[in-house]
């Protein structure tokens, strides 16, 4: 068993203590090899209560610390994570399947989030607003919400915790984190870094276990004031519907993200962007490009170049080949859905133009591998164009005019990210103004950057992460009206 995982196996982090969990043991597998890496303990109701109680107790102190002190603690956390980036990245690759260099990049992004929110912590400003008479002051101040329950998925096991953790801690909230069952050790490693950074006991707690039990218990717990969730739209809706009391919610849910390539686009740049955002992390990203609409005159050439680029991607076990383009999928489930969407598209008349099956070779025999796959001649009768695949499969369809492209792109219950490649400024303005998405990336595919709000519309969720807005999610406004007689 890898050393860090050995250290963290079967543990929970509650009130600054590493407890051997008392609940049922759940195996965690390496998706590239099928090997069991170690076990986690499903948190019991008593352990869940203890974590929430610890977070409540710590909130009294943490929320009253000078913001500059919280900033210092976040900087220490960022530094500790940077120092341990290699070991944390190995842990992530072992449990999640992405290539080691990608995992390391993600860990460094987590450190970046710590440093970014360290700077935001000291900028929680209020306002004095005018009143009817001059002997009254209305102060609008911001106060931390309280205890946050963070429920996170397995595709970005560090970053998706980081945005919640850092926004919450900067604001003065404390947190109980429930990571995905597939990737718990990255979360426990983050708790280890919080301990190293001397974040006070109880401010950060990590509970492992099944979502339907441990996650749901946090949703229902009267001691949790806010739920910050990233995951599927189905579970997000369940969480919204099952809160027994009023709680603040931020939900970052599924996507079904379109790319529009117009006739004015730089074709090579568009292909490069499409490959990166369709297949990175094996397409297991909520902002992955699922479907591509290309102007008819350039469609054949675009598909040809896209397939050439997809075929060149290097697939490998991410530990053996750290700089591989793609690794294993995180589990059998997203792989099965990818195959189902592919079969559905082919049955309904799509053409398979790249990929379409598992790579050959002994190295791939036991892992969840699949070649980056492109289908052309798609229609909206196919699942690949209308449902989130969450795998290395992208569908392509030709369009005849910008309005048709917009109509097709917006023909979805989701509204997370959308992408455009075009050189013509009028086209860029027309499309970006009409795409009904929280994020529109034009001539690039980086929809989420640390400094700008990131969030979805429609069934893709509510609330924002990243940027100032990502911290506001953890603050309440208070209006204090003072009359001076
Ligand atoms: P994904 O498969 O993309 O990770 P899920 O929505 O299934 O998406 O899971 C995201 C997170 O939500 C995981 O940590 C999971 O354990 C948790 N979860 C699943 N079901 C529930 C539930 N009923 N209540 C709270 N959390 C849940």
- Identify the H or E element spanning 419: strand 417-421
Query: Do 273 and 221 sit in the same domain of this protein?
Result: no
Answer yes or no: are the C-beta atoms of 194 and 169 closer than 8 Å: no
Mutate to test the pocket of ligand 1, among 155, 186, 215, 282 (most ligand atoms within 8 A of CB): 215
- Domain containing residue 91: 3-253+460-478
- Mean pLDDT over each residue of the chain, to the nearest integer: 97
Q: Is the pLDDT of residue 431 over 90?
A: yes
Rounded to 5 degrees, what are φ and ψ at 376?
A: -110, 180
User: Average pLDDT of 341-366?
Assistant: 96
Whose CA is closest to atom 23 on ligand 1?
Answer: 212
pLDDT at residue 268, as a whole number: 98
- CB distance 180 to ligand 1 below 6 Å: yes
Of these residues, 114, 166, 286, 378, which one is catalytic?
Answer: 286
User: Average pLDDT of 43-67?
Assistant: 98
Q: Is the pLDDT of residue 37 over 80?
A: yes
Rounded CA-CA distance 448/455 in Å is 9
Answer yes or no: are the C-beta atoms of 227 and 215 closer than 8 Å: no
Read off the CATH number of the domain in which 138 is found. 3.40.605.10
Ligand 1 centroid vs 239 CA: distance in angstroms? 9
Confidence label for 436 from pLDDT (cuts 50, 70 and 90)? very high
- CB distance 209 to ligand 1 below 6 Å: no
Q: Is residue 227, in this structure, part of any structural domain at all?
A: yes
CA neighbours within 13 Å on the CB side: how many for 439? Answer: 31
pLDDT at residue 168, as a whole number: 98
Other beta carbons within 10 angstroms of residue 377's beta carbon come to 17
Confidence label for 1 from pLDDT (cuts 50, 70 and 90)? confident
Catalytic-residue membership of 35: no
Q: Is residue 290, in this structure, part of any structural domain at all?
A: yes
Output DSSP code: residue 400: S
Give 143's strand partners: 476
Q: Is residue 262, in this structure, part of any structural domain at all?
A: yes
Query: Do 131 and 192 sit in the same domain of this protein?
Result: yes
Query: Do 294 and 397 sit in the same domain of this protein?
Result: yes
Q: Is the pLDDT of residue 381 over 90?
A: yes
The atom number, within ligand 1, closest to the CA of 181 reads 16
Query: Do 419 and 401 sit in the same domain of this protein?
Result: yes
Ligand 1 centroid vs 256 CA: distance in angstroms? 18
Answer yes or no: are the C-beta atoms of 443 and 425 closer than 8 Å: no
Other beta carbons within 10 angstroms of residue 329's beta carbon come to 29
Q: What separation in angstroms does the CA of 479 have from each of 120, 178, 224, 226?
A: 22, 33, 23, 21
Give 394's strand partners: 374
Catalytic-residue membership of 307: no
Of these residues, 252, 427, 465, 473, which one is catalytic?
Answer: 252
This model of the complex carries an ipTM of: 0.95
Q: Which residues contact 8 (CB under 8 A, 6 or more apart)?
A: 38, 185, 188, 189, 192
Q: Is residue 452, in this structure, part of any structural domain at all?
A: no
Query: Do 214 and 297 sit in the same domain of this protein?
Result: no
- Chain mean position to CA 262: 29
Ligand 1 centroid vs 18 CA: distance in angstroms? 24
Give 206's strand partners: 13, 177
Query: Do 246 and 300 sit in the same domain of this protein?
Result: no
User: Over the stretch 84-128, which tens digit does the pLDDT of each residue have?
Assistant: 999 999 999 999 999 999 999 999 999 999 999 999 999 999 999
The atom number, within ligand 1, closest to the CA of 209 reads 16
User: Over the stretch 260-277, which tens digit does the pLDDT of each residue have?
Assistant: 999 999 999 999 999 999
Find the DSSP H helices in 65-131. 67-83, 85-96, 100-121
The pair of structure tokens assigned to 399 is 């369009």
Ligand 1 centroid vs 161 CA: distance in angstroms? 13
Q: What separation in angstroms does the CA of 309 have from each of 43, 276, 306, 350?
A: 45, 10, 5, 20
Read off the CATH number of the domain in which 347 is found. 3.40.309.10
Mutate to test the pocket of ligand 1, among 28, 150, 161, 235 (most ligand atoms within 8 A of CB): 235
Q: Is residue 453, in this structure, part of any structural domain at all?
A: no
pLDDT at residue 193, as a whole number: 98
Whose CA is closest to atom 4 on ligand 1?
Answer: 153
Rounded CA-CA distance 326/361 in Å is 16
Query: Do 43 and 103 sit in the same domain of this protein?
Result: yes
Q: Is residue 55, in this structure, part of any structural domain at all?
A: yes
Q: What separation in angstroms does the CA of 222 have from each of 168, 196, 215, 216, 217?
A: 18, 30, 13, 12, 10
pLDDT at residue 447, as a whole number: 84
Q: Is residue 450, in this structure, part of any structural domain at all?
A: no
User: Over the stretch 141-171, which tens digit does the pLDDT of each residue have?
Assistant: 999 999 999 999 999 999 999 999 999 999 9
Query: Do 192 and 220 sit in the same domain of this protein?
Result: yes
Residue matched to tokens 């919080």: 194
The atom number, within ligand 1, closest to the CA of 180 reads 14
Query: Do 237 and 277 sit in the same domain of this protein?
Result: no
Rounded CA-CA distance 148/226 in Å is 5
Query: Do 372 and 228 sit in the same domain of this protein?
Result: no
The pair of structure tokens assigned to 107 is 């860990």
The atom number, within ligand 1, closest to the CA of 234 reads 6
Sign of CA dihedral 454, 203, 50, 186: positive
Query: Do 262 and 333 sit in the same domain of this protein?
Result: yes
Rounded to 5 degrees, what are φ and ψ at 305?
A: -70, -35
**Rg of the chain's alpha carbons, rounded to an integer?**
23
The atom number, within ligand 1, closest to the CA of 182 reads 4
- CB distance 235 to ligand 1 below 6 Å: yes
Ordered DSSP codes for 443-481: SS-----TTS-B--EETTEES-BSHHHHHHTTEEEEEEE
Give the total number of structural domains in the chain: 2
User: Average pLDDT of 460-472?
Assistant: 97
Give 419's strand partners: 259, 441
pLDDT at residue 2, as a whole number: 83
Q: Is residue 299, in this structure, part of any structural domain at all?
A: yes
Rounded CA-CA distance 255/236 in Å is 13
Whose CA is closest to atom 16 on ligand 1?
Answer: 211
Ligand 1 centroid vs 453 CA: distance in angstroms? 23
Q: Which residues contact 128 (CB under 8 A, 6 or more apart)?
A: 137, 138, 139, 140
Query: Do 114 and 8 sit in the same domain of this protein?
Result: yes
Q: Is the pLDDT of residue 471 over 90?
A: yes
Answer yes or no: are the C-beta atoms of 420 and 440 closer than 8 Å: yes
């Amino acid at each position: 068993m890898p050393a860090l995982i050995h250290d963290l196996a079967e543990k929970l982090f509650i009130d600054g203590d590493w407890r051997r969990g008392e609940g049922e043991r759940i195996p965690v597998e390496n998706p590239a090899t099928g090997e069991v890496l170690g076990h986690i303990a499903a948190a019991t109701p008593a352990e869940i209560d203890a974590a929430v109680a610890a977070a409540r107790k710590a909130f009294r102190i943490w929320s009253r610390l000078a913001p500059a002190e919280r900033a210092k603690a976040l900087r220490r956390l960022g530094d500790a994570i940077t120092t341990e980036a290699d070991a944390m990245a190995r842990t992530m690759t072992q449990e999640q399947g992405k290539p080691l260099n990608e995992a390391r990049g993600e860990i460094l992004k987590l450190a970046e989030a710590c440093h970014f929110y360290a700077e935001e912590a000291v900028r929680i400003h209020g306002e004095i607003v005018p009143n009817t008479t001059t002997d009254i002051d209305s102060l609008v101040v911001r106060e931390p919400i309280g205890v946050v329950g963070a429920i996170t998925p397995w595709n970005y096991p560090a970053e998706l915790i980081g945005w919640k953790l850092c926004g919450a801690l900067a604001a003065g909230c404390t947190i109980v984190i429930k990571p995905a069952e597939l990737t718990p050790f990255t979360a426990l490693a983050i708790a280890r870094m919080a301990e190293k950074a001397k974040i006070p006991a109880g401010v950060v707690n990590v509970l492992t276990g099944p979502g339907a039990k441990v996650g749901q218990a946090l949703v229902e717990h009267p001691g949790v004031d806010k739920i910050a969730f990233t995951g599927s739209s189905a579970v997000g809706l369940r969480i919204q519907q099952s809160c027994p009391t009023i709680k603040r919610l931020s939900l970052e849910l599924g996507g079904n993200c379109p790319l529009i390539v117009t006739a004015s686009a730089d074709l090579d740049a568009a292909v490069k962007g499409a490959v990166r955002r369709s297949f990175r992390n094996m397409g297991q990203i909520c902002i992955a490009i699922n479907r591509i609409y290309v102007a008819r005159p350039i469609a054949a050439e675009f598909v040809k170049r896209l397939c050439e680029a997809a075929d060149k991607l290097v697939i490998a076990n991410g530990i053996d080949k750290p700089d591989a383009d793609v690794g294993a999928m995180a589990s059998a489930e997203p792989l099965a859905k990818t195959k189902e969407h592919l079969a559905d598209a082919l049955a309904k008349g799509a053409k398979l133009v790249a990929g379409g099956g598992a790579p050959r070779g002994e190295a791939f025999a036991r892992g969840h591998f699949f070649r980056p796959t492109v289908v052309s001649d798609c229609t909206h009768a196919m699942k690949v164009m209308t449902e989130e695949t969450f795998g290395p499969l992208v569908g392509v369809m030709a369009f005849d005019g910008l309005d048709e492209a917009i109509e097709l792109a917006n023909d979805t219950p989701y509204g997370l990210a959308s992408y455009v490649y075009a050189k013509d400024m009028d086209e860029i303005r027309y499309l970006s103004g009409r795409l009904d998405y929280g994020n529109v990336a034009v001539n690039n595919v980086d929809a989420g950057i640390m400094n700008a709000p990131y969030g979805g519309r429609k069934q893709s969720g509510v609330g924002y992460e990243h940027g100032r807005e990502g911290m506001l999610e953890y603050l309440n406004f208070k209006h204090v009206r003072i009359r001076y007689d």
